[in-house]
A and B are shown apart, each in its own frame.
Chain A
């Protein structure tokens, strides 16, 4: 039985950047088999639905969740004599994505037909780009949980049509067809086989999704199917050339991508070690059982009979147009992260967390602008994220608004409240939706900054603890914290910490 190498069982499959399980020592992910140590080789093909008003080759709309067959043109239904006309918006989005992936843009590309019969493929072929894709090689950098980064190569990005949907469970004997998705533009983004672990596979998809969302070229909603991954997995002993790979089709969440890598690699190690041979085939991931299952073998594979689509001319892009698109790209996660480190003095880790989602970065910048940027980062990655996760909210529907959180930080900055009270105020804000100032006023949480009141409280504490005062004065410095705590308690937590410190030092020294 295969098991995880390096004391790192291959069961660490949590989605998210694995906050709290930071490992400083970077160890290669391996599978320990009975015949030795196995390395995992993964390449991903991600299908990302292009954000566009209309389909790739027709004017029909693309909105998700519309009535079945309500967004279908005669072109999408492949009526006789209908012809495709490429939608410039989809081409623009593909080029912008290519630029965002630091990839070569091919000034001339071509559309090919991929021929196969299926009930939800009206024309009997999918228009795709086989030999000459619109985007060539590129790369993206992914951040790993141990704080390291890794560059994953992009082989290509091409445009293609989505098929319709076959619905098998609405009628006892019939299959229903919904062609709303038929003809919707997809970008297929193919990675190099540079990925070596489930974690890297997850980090790659997460980073890719982040870039697509920043660009606005794909909404990245995997649960709606607008982004899905085909996971190519093989295993090998160290130093070997690649062995046969299997493709796990249509994996629809980052967590499942990571699990599929794990499950498929483990299966392949078992096959090799039991004297068998891994056959090239297409497999499906059974998320319920956490295993992959054979879908079709290479022998059963379709012969797609690719050939250039004679209804479409080669796609020729103007270099100036490409340059203009490049100049108009928004700030992408890597650049934003660098800027957050540079201008706000954030740690690389905090910066990475804050830029992962465009909306989070925007939230952060709203809070941080004109305030202490580090305190803003600490609050967002700390109490704010905790509340958001606890309540199952999202950054688009946050537990408190950026403006409200800023208001809370302002009350701390001008000494209206101290940090301890601020945490209570924050919870009250989450609970009531009221702003910080209102809560402070209603609950009388305004900080005590009256020197006389603090003097009086300190004197009372010192008088009540003569033995501790003596010990402190004879050198037991650690007791200072005790006096602070007692004073704060006497002031119901509302004392200004700096004033308390100063007063204590003055009176204990007397």
Chain B
């Protein structure tokens, strides 16, 4: 099945003319047609545009001009603005919005020959860990519990549509964004590799902002190598983003082959909480053993401020969001609910356009920035954020990378964790520190829980040292030999 190929294999197949780019894209479009009505992984399928791009890829291939992603069909999280293709951010607020510009990351992917199948579902404005907050409906995780295949599981979030699409073979890879774990947690829930690169590695220009200092674009793929191929195309300096790093982009694919012999891998002791499920703990230990067996040295390290990570995150992220989302006021673009006067227009538009989770975070963010509360919340959170970064800097003085679980559980069912926002926020426990510190991190599928659901391990690296993250991730991938398949998949 063409849809089962890795990006690396498809690249070789296209070059060898084993099949055409149109064949490859059509296979995925057919899979979307068959499965998307159920999975709801795509909000918008850009069928005609995808076929045009595939034809152009075939012309390029015929001329012997193969770029890194020529003819590779991808899903694009519907947070990336795509020129002429509706971009909703999973919100009613942007339901009529068709951007007149292409985000830097997607422009780079197009430049490298990628085919865009459509726009992937997500939590509204990327706020969520379940994809349940999307105004375009929830996404179904293609994986099923072994004992109970009737339960509809969440794919994680916020990049739930991207993860479900790649997992169910509706796309070979996808873009996501990770503000507090929104790539790594869905990757863990759907048995995929998800990479959150260093802050500044991928441009945020043209990506609908959630929390500017925490938003990281990154890739989803089914193998570490594929994710390295995607990240190399997505990354690079962008003068239009002041926070973009002016550094050369390394050959991440080559870094996957480096091995881990002699690397020092830190095990952060604070990640081991009392309430940690036994399965997660066991998986972590398994990962430690694999890396030791592959020649790495295991070192116990301390990240003492870890326990403040979640609280810090849920101050900083809503604060920035409350300001970033002020532009959705019904005046210039997007949805509008007319009112008697300007204030009425704002209130109606924003009450109608934003869902409950987005409204909650805007309120939290507005509160923590208010006069009289700023020092107690926002300022203090920024100070703790600096301490969390220092934790990582200190640890990376002794080790080359860190190993930790990605999420505290496997995928949960739709409806679970819905009553208590705090319970939902706990999903981000292991992922938010890397966002607060801006360091690169990846989730790699490492095993199954008792229900047969995938679990991921997280590799965290030094700033701008994604290469080591890829090397360690590859070692885990090779040792884990993760071959399980989701129940719902193309041809499955």
Contact = CB atoms under 8 A, between A and B. Distances in A.
A113 B319 CA distance: 11
Contacts of B207: 81
Nearest to B330: A119
Interface stretch (A304-312, A392-400, A434-442): A304-312
A239 B242 CA distance: 51
Contacts of A119: 329, 331, 342
B335 to A, nearest CB: 13
B94 interface: yes
Given A86-B242, A312-B242, A305 B103 contact: no
B481 interface: no
Contacts of A307: 319, 323, 369, 374, 378
A81 B205 contact: yes
B371 interface: yes
Q: Does more than half of chain A's interface fall in helix, strand or loop, or is it mixed?
A: loop
A117 B330 CA distance: 12
Nearest to A81: B206
Residue of A303, A305, A313 ringed by the most chain B CB atoms within 10 A: A305
A77 B332 contact: yes
A123 interface: yes
B87 interface: yes
B208 A310 contact: no
A80 B94 contact: yes
A79 interface: yes
Interface in A157-192: 175, 177
A113 B323 contact: yes
Nearest to A85: B242
A64 interface: no
B323 A125 contact: yes
Contacts of B103: 81
A216 interface: no
Contacts, number: 96
A103 to B, nearest CB: 26
A123 B324 CA distance: 8
A80 B327 contact: yes
A113 B320 CA distance: 10
B contact residues, range:
35 or more
A74 B326 contact: no
B211 interface: yes
A312 B370 CA distance: 21
A117 B205 contact: no
A80 B97 contact: yes
Contact of A310 (B100, B212, B331): B212
Contacts of B239: 85
Contacts of B329: 117, 119, 124
Given A77-B332, A81-B206, A124 B242 contact: no
A312 B333 CA distance: 24
A83 B211 CA distance: 13
Interface in A299-321: 303, 305-307, 310-313
Given A85-B242, A305-B366, A305-B369, A122 B332 contact: yes
B370 A305 contact: yes
Given A80-B97, A119-B342, A311 B331 contact: no
Nearest to B320: A310
A81 B204 contact: yes
Interface of B: 80-81, 87, 89, 94, 97, 99-101, 103, 204-209, 211-213, 239-243, 319-320, 322-323, 326-327, 329, 331-333, 342, 346, 366, 369-371, 374, 378
Given A80-B81, A122-B327, A303-B371, 16 more contacts: A74-B101, A77-B332, A79-B332, A80-B97, A80-B209, A83-B204, A83-B241, A85-B241, A117-B329, A117-B346, A119-B342, A122-B331, A124-B326, A124-B327, A305-B369, A306-B369
19 contacts: A79-B99, A80-B97, A80-B208, A81-B208, A83-B242, A115-B369, A117-B329, A117-B346, A119-B331, A122-B327, A122-B331, A124-B327, A125-B326, A306-B369, A307-B374, A310-B212, A311-B212, A312-B242, A313-B242
